[in-house]
Structure 1
Amino acid sequence: MRRNKVLSIGAAALALGLTMTACGTTKEDGKGGGSDAACDLKLAFFGPETGDAAGLGKPIIQGAKLAVDQYNADADCKVELVKYDSQGSPDAAPGLARDVVGDESIIGVVGPAFSGESAAAGPIFADVGVPTITPSATNPTLADNGWDTFHRALGNDATQGPAAARYIKDTLKAASVFVIDDASEYGAGLAGIVEKDLGDAVKGTDTIQQKQTDFSATVTKVTSAKPDAVFFGGYYAEATLLIGQLRDGGWDGTFVVVDGVKDPAFLDAKDAAEGTIITCPCIPDTDPAVAQFAKDYEAAFGEAPGTYAAESYDAANIFLDGIGDGIDNREDMLKFVNDYDEKGITKQLKFDDKGEPADVHVYAYTVKDGAIVPEGEIK
């Protein structure tokens, strides 16, 4: 990582006896606003720590925490990671965003985690100039709002949706598909893309609601249509119940879902979940590029990295690289992030003028023998 280069340069400079402050920056060195400010910096996690979507928030929190803990192990001035628990709710997002911008020691946000809360909080961050890097919010329209502060560390649904449709057509060779969404900005957006790309293969559509538990009406529509595959745009809480009720209703086709379902809680569906295909713009923890990260993560948290832990680690490290360079204010950090172009563990980390990543990949996973197993990149 680039931060390691910065630290090695700093160590060499100290060895040469250069005069430096305890924090490594001064007002005169052109990097920051003073050593005192540089010693009181924070990064924020913005997303679900509790609630129905907490399972998706946990690995994002832990990925960012690992990056901060590793940075602090070698730093004279520690960086604090503070958590703003949105519970994944767009309604809670504006108030939390105002809390973030009110703490001027926060110079970067890892998140918001979900698309709906990103849309609600984005204007507030943009108005004040707080740079954000989401490791998981994938709705394409987020990059079309003109927010200079918005950045995304993964491919959006305009890449995941076509990849999912391609997998359904080319790999599953499904002749008929039923498309379901959960009415969220994220789920409905993805379902719309997949429906468009599949064209005449779509034999029916339906919309459910988040927190819904009885899907009997949807099950009736699906079993009547008799599709080879069902595509679901939404999150794991509903997907877990939906696939169980579809199997109980007699449907035996292939269930295809997206990254919002890639959580161990989906495996609570047990045998009903077997064979489910999950698409995700998240790198598998078996990839050689993330092998050391996965080892460090498991040592720190006692479990393998979950969905978007690695992307969160990369996002946090971009901010930490800036802090390592002596940046201690939002304005300079925003410029640093906008200009960033370094190798991360998940990809080359570089953003276009809309905040989208320059390097995008989408992967397929399958549920096999009670585990979520990577199949490989969808080309």
Structure 2
Amino acid sequence: MRNPRRIGAVAAGAGLALLLAACGGGGITDGGPGEGATSGDIILGMLTPLSGGSAAIGPYMRNGGQLAVDEINAAGGVMGRQLKLVVEDEACDPKTAAAGAAKLVTAGTIVSVGGYCSSATLPTLTIFGKANIPMIIPAANSNDLVKDKLPNVFLINGTGAQQAAAAVEFMKSEGSKAVALVDDNTSYSKDITTRTAQNLKDDGSVAVASQQSVTAGESDYSAAVTAILRAKPDFVYWTGYYQEGGLLIKQLRGAGYTGKIMVADGSVDKQLVSIAGESNAQGVFATMTQTPQTIPGGDQWVATFKDKTGADPGPYSPQAYDAVRVAAEALKQANSTKGEDIITALKAIDGFEIFSGKLKFTEEHTLTEGGFDILVVEGSDFVLNK
């Protein structure tokens, strides 16, 4: 459930970027999207929520990506050229994300290093694919993203299948007997609950007392709360995002539910605690990939992040940072900005250090090491559950 963290190299900050600087340039012909260019900045495009209910995540990802760009450029760039990060809004909305992806293609994006909400990322697969632009997706992790085995799509976050497995392992370790599963009917959220329910049924030691979907963006989840209470679970697992998750927790506790509650990684944000109310959120668990504050030895990276960006890191800051670093490594190894060359280089990566360990992609272009930590709310934030 929890991978050993190999962050000594990662936390070294700018020193890592030295590994990414390449000598010389490639004999590449100027052309359209995905065909590369011989001069000018190498553009990395990032889609992240800058508006909507998940807008708080956008700055975390943008700052993480920009920190990596700045470090790499300070060390000489890639192939003698500088990287440039271009950011567009996805708003966790498919139409907004599609429009943003089209803008990034027009801007000359060489590699996409964004993607937070899976439902918003899905329609961008075709847009980037037609332009032959490799996608290194730092946050979105629904298995729907890789089910068609598109050659240009790579995930550096653990998948929904891996998160569901971690959730079930923890429920069992806590002695749960009956679980209520609640999602928001989006690709990311539904994927986790469906897989969690199947894993629980296959295991047989914990019953699925209730499984339901709610509509994101609503302010009253009393119908869902009533259904949960009637099912009498001792454990509730919410797999949507923090805005709705905070409301659900607040209303569950207000209705008298005293059992354990856990949320998925889309809800791991201080705002969930604020929305739920600090007293209601105490002890709420979460399945989550690494955050800078919970990685052993991550203090140096956090300090560098704050010094260079003027802001605190947050959820998906390290994944966005790593997405840029992986893109730079692939560009370096390919010695080319052509899409097909970068894709070949990404497939060949074996042992490149990122926050979650030594990177090697599976045949499905997911992480071979995709473990999830269990966090818990203490005070106003999530910390590593010990």
Instruction: Identify whether the pair has TM-score above 0.5, normalized to the shorter chain.
Output: yes
Out of 338, 342, 367, the position equivalent to 1:333 is 342
Does residue 348 (structure 1) correspond to residue 354 (structure 2)? The answer is no
Matched ranges for 1:70-89 at <5 A: 70-75=71-76, 77-89=81-93
Matched ranges for 1:291-306 at <5 A: 291-306=299-314
Q: Which amino acid aligns with 1:257?
A: V
* Structure ID, larger Rg: 1
Q: After TM superposition, give the deviation of residue 3 of structure 1 in Å.
A: 4.8
Once residues 72 and 29 of structure 2 are traced to their aligned partners in structure 1, the CA distance between those partners, rounded to angstroms, is 20
Name structure 1 gaps, 5 residues minimum: 11-23
Does residue 63 (structure 1) correspond to residue 79 (structure 2)? The answer is no
Could you say if the C-alpha distance between residues 322 and 189 of structure 1 is closer, same or farther in structure 2, counting changes exceeding 3 Å?
closer
Q: After TM superposition, give the deviation of residue 349 of structure 1 in Å.
A: 1.7
Cα deviation 1:6-40 (Å, max 9, x = unaligned): 54x75xxxxxxxxxxxxx4252xxxx558973422
Choose 80-89 or 48-57, whichever is displaced more: 48-57
Q: After TM superposition, give the deviation of residue 205 of structure 1 in Å.
A: 2.1
Query: How large is the Cα RMSD of the aligned pairs?
Result: 2.2
Matched ranges for 1:109-124 at <5 A: 109-124=112-127
Equivalent residue number for residue 19 of structure 1: none
Could you say if the C-alpha distance between residues 220 and 345 of structure 1 is closer, same or farther in structure 2, counting changes exceeding 3 Å?
closer
8 Å CA contact 1:283, 1:363 repeated in 2 = no
Matched ranges for 1:362-377 at <5 A: 362-375=372-385
Once residues 245 and 36 of structure 1 are traced to their aligned partners in structure 2, the CA distance between those partners, rounded to angstroms, is 54
8 Å CA contact 1:33, 1:327 repeated in 2 = no
Please report the TM-score for the alignment, with normalisation by the length of structure 2.
Answer: 0.86
Cα deviation 1:88-119 (Å, max 9, x = unaligned): 11122323222222333x11111222211221
8 Å CA contact 1:290, 1:310 repeated in 2 = no
Cα deviation 1:266-290 (Å, max 9, x = unaligned): 1102211111001013355342464
8 Å CA contact 1:234, 1:261 repeated in 2 = yes
Q: Which amino acid aligns with 1:158?
A: A
Equivalent residue number for residue 18 of structure 2: 4
Q: After TM superposition, give the deviation of residue 302 of structure 1 in Å.
A: 4.0
Cα deviation 1:128-169 (Å, max 9, x = unaligned): 210011111111121121310100002101010111111112
Cα deviation 1:224-245 (Å, max 9, x = unaligned): 2222111111000100111111
Structure number with greater CO (CA < 8 Å, separation at least 6) is 2
Does residue 245 (structure 1) correspond to residue 251 (structure 2)? The answer is yes
Q: Secondary structure at the match of 1:94?
A: helix
Please report the TM-score for the alignment, with normalisation by the length of structure 1.
Answer: 0.87
8 Å CA contact 2:54, 2:91 repeated in 1 = yes
Q: Secondary structure at the match of 2:307?
A: helix
Out of 308, 312, 316, the position equivalent to 2:324 is 316
8 Å CA contact 1:115, 1:137 repeated in 2 = yes
Could you say if the C-alpha distance between residues 243 and 102 of structure 1 is closer, same or farther in structure 2, counting changes exceeding 3 Å?
same
Q: Which amino acid aligns with 1:46?
A: L
Out of 281, 289, 294, the position equivalent to 1:281 is 289
Name structure 2 gaps, 5 residues minimum: 1-8, 10-15, 31-35
Q: Which amino acid aligns with 1:264?
A: K
Once residues 362 and 227 of structure 1 are traced to their aligned partners in structure 2, the CA distance between those partners, rounded to angstroms, is 24
Structure number with the higher helix fraction is: 1
Q: After TM superposition, give the deviation of residue 328 of structure 1 in Å.
A: 3.0
Does residue 108 (structure 1) correspond to residue 100 (structure 2)? The answer is no
Could you say if the C-alpha distance between residues 235 and 84 of structure 1 is closer, same or farther in structure 2, counting changes exceeding 3 Å?
same
Q: Secondary structure at the match of 2:146?
A: helix
Once residues 377 and 345 of structure 2 are traced to their aligned partners in structure 1, the CA distance between those partners, rounded to angstroms, is 40
Choose 237-246 or 328-337, whichever is displaced more: 328-337
Once residues 19 and 149 of structure 2 are traced to their aligned partners in structure 1, the CA distance between those partners, rounded to angstroms, is 33
Q: After TM superposition, give the deviation of residue 303 of structure 1 in Å.
A: 4.3
Once residues 3 and 38 of structure 1 are traced to their aligned partners in structure 2, the CA distance between those partners, rounded to angstroms, is 21
Q: Secondary structure at the match of 1:151?
A: strand
Out of 150, 154, 157, the position equivalent to 2:157 is 154
Once residues 123 and 233 of structure 1 are traced to their aligned partners in structure 2, the CA distance between those partners, rounded to angstroms, is 26
Equivalent residue number for residue 4 of structure 2: none
Once residues 103 and 55 of structure 1 are traced to their aligned partners in structure 2, the CA distance between those partners, rounded to angstroms, is 25
Once residues 232 and 370 of structure 2 are traced to their aligned partners in structure 1, the CA distance between those partners, rounded to angstroms, is 34
Equivalent residue number for residue 211 of structure 2: 205
Q: Number of residues paired by the alignment?
A: 356
Equivalent residue number for residue 179 of structure 2: 177
Cα deviation 1:179-211 (Å, max 9, x = unaligned): 111111111111111122223511122211110
Matched ranges for 1:36-51 at <5 A: 37-51=38-52
8 Å CA contact 1:33, 1:328 repeated in 2 = no
8 Å CA contact 2:20, 2:72 repeated in 1 = no
Could you say if the C-alpha distance between residues 236 and 185 of structure 1 is closer, same or farther in structure 2, counting changes exceeding 3 Å?
same
Q: After TM superposition, give the deviation of residue 353 of structure 1 in Å.
A: 2.7
Percent identity (aligned): 26
Once residues 180 and 234 of structure 1 are traced to their aligned partners in structure 2, the CA distance between those partners, rounded to angstroms, is 8
Once residues 288 and 250 of structure 2 are traced to their aligned partners in structure 1, the CA distance between those partners, rounded to angstroms, is 22
Q: Secondary structure at the match of 2:154?
A: coil
Once residues 51 and 151 of structure 2 are traced to their aligned partners in structure 1, the CA distance between those partners, rounded to angstroms, is 29
Could you say if the C-alpha distance between residues 36 and 257 of structure 1 is closer, same or farther in structure 2, counting changes exceeding 3 Å?
closer
8 Å CA contact 1:258, 1:280 repeated in 2 = yes
Choose 218-227 or 149-158, whichever is displaced more: 218-227
Equivalent residue number for residue 192 of structure 2: 190
